[in-house]
Amino acid sequence: MTHVKIARGAISTGRYGQAMAEIETGAVSENRTKRKPRAANAPPAAGSGIRARSAAKNSDIVYRDLHKAIVTMELAPGAPVLERKLTEQYGVSRTPVREAVLRLVEDGLVEVAPKSGTFVARIPLSVVREALVARRALEEVTVRAATELSSESRIMQMRAIIQQQQEMADAGDEEAFHQADDAFHASIAAAARYPGIWKMIQQVRIQVERYRRLTLPQTGRMPMVVKEHTAVLDAMAAGDADAAVARMNEHLNKLQLDISIFRDLWPDYFTIDPVLDEKLFASR
């Protein structure tokens, strides 16, 4: 994890210049008593929503970096997350670092032991299990709605995405392949007009993603994914929602829990709940 210190703004003049001007006018204290405090803040106008001009805050940068590092397993489950170290790496104070860490806690990617330490969260097996179920359920309704709503241009756009994914598979670029994979599913969600549900899908995907990264790249898996995506899209193009849902389920069911991963290879990365994971216990 290599970071560059967040560039601070140029040396700010602060309020000095203004203060000098005030002194020059020679009318400071008089005005202070005359002015009345401004009224309570009014809410933004209806329909306009909050302004979207929010500049990227330092905490956002730290959050994004950490998030990526954790999802890619660059930071392994159980690894300590030292606030102090992060403040030095990014050249910011603890406040924005803390903010980022708290958001990661909310995401279930980080756990904090009060007054003791903060650590990259281990992966509860039950969470992966549930994430697979939840994702299937959400992608199902999404692809169904998308089939009914998708335009011809959308279908063409998705064919292009699949084509690109094919090219990435041929090139063996796994990272780009997964980006295209993401784009395909995102496109379905966009066609369905379900941005919120897409957000939920992404959240549960993250939990599975950490698990998936541990499985060695299976030979021949990338071309297979392309075929599965094509099958989904063909059904969508034909306007057959039931078929599209079925193809999507077949696609998603390919990713199954491989118990050897956490039993033999990385037992420290997972936590097992005796009651929630009782079935897995039985099959052991």
- Contact flag: residue 56 with a copy of itself (CB under 8 A): no
Residue 197's binding partner out of DNA, a copy of itself, none, with CB under 5 to 8 Å set by partner kind? a copy of itself
Between residue 148 and residue 167, which ones bind a copy of itself under the rule CB under 8 A? none
Name which of 103 and 221 has its Cβ closer to a copy of itself: 103
174 token code pair = 């796994």
The dihedral through the CA atoms of 34, 39, 41, 44 has a sign that is negative
Identify whether the C-beta of residue 270 lies closer than 8 Å to the C-beta of residue 125: yes
Residue 121 CB, nearest distance to a copy of itself (Å)?
8
Name which of 103 and 221 has its Cβ closer to DNA: 103
Give the DSSP H/E element, type plus range, for residue 214.
Answer: helix 195-214
User: In whole angstroms, how far apart are CA 21 and each of 35, 36, 257?
Assistant: 18, 22, 69
DSSP label of 111: E
Give the DSSP H/E element, type plus range, for residue 172.
Answer: none
- Contact flag: residue 7 with DNA (CB under 7 A): no
User: In whole angstroms, how far apart are CA 34 and each of 29, 30, 41, 139, 147?
Assistant: 9, 7, 21, 62, 65
Q: Give 270's strand partners.
A: 123
Stretch that binds DNA, among 35-43, 142-150, 154-162, 260-268 (CB under 7 A): 35-43
Name which of 122 and 247 has its Cβ closer to a copy of itself: 122
- Contact flag: residue 2 with DNA (CB under 7 A): no
* Residue 50 CB contacts under 8 Å (≥ 6 apart), including other chains: 44
**β-pair type (123-124, 270-271):** parallel
Residue 46's binding partner out of DNA, a copy of itself, none, with CB under 5 to 8 Å set by partner kind? a copy of itself
- Contact flag: residue 28 with DNA (CB under 7 A): yes
- Quick one: which of 97, 123, 131, 183 contacts a copy of itself (CB under 8 A)? 131
AA letter at 205: R
Residue 128 CB, nearest distance to a copy of itself (Å)?
10
Name which of 90 and 211 has its Cβ closer to DNA: 90
Q: How far apart are CA 271 and CA 19, in angstroms?
A: 59
Residue with tokens 């379905």: 188
- Contact flag: residue 102 with a copy of itself (CB under 8 A): yes
Measure the N-to-C terminal CA separation of the chain; round to a whole number of Å.
36
AA letter at 280: L
Residue 157 CB, nearest distance to DNA (Å)?
35
* Contacts to DNA by CB under 7 A: 8-9, 12-15, 18, 21-22, 25, 28, 31-32, 34-42, 51, 53, 57-59, 81-84, 91-96, 98-99, 112-118
Sites of contact with a copy of itself (CB under 8 A): 40-44, 46-47, 49-51, 54-55, 57, 78-80, 82, 99, 102-103, 106, 111-114, 116-117, 119, 122, 126-127, 130-131, 133-134, 136-138, 140-141, 145, 193-197, 200, 204, 267-268, 271-272, 275-276
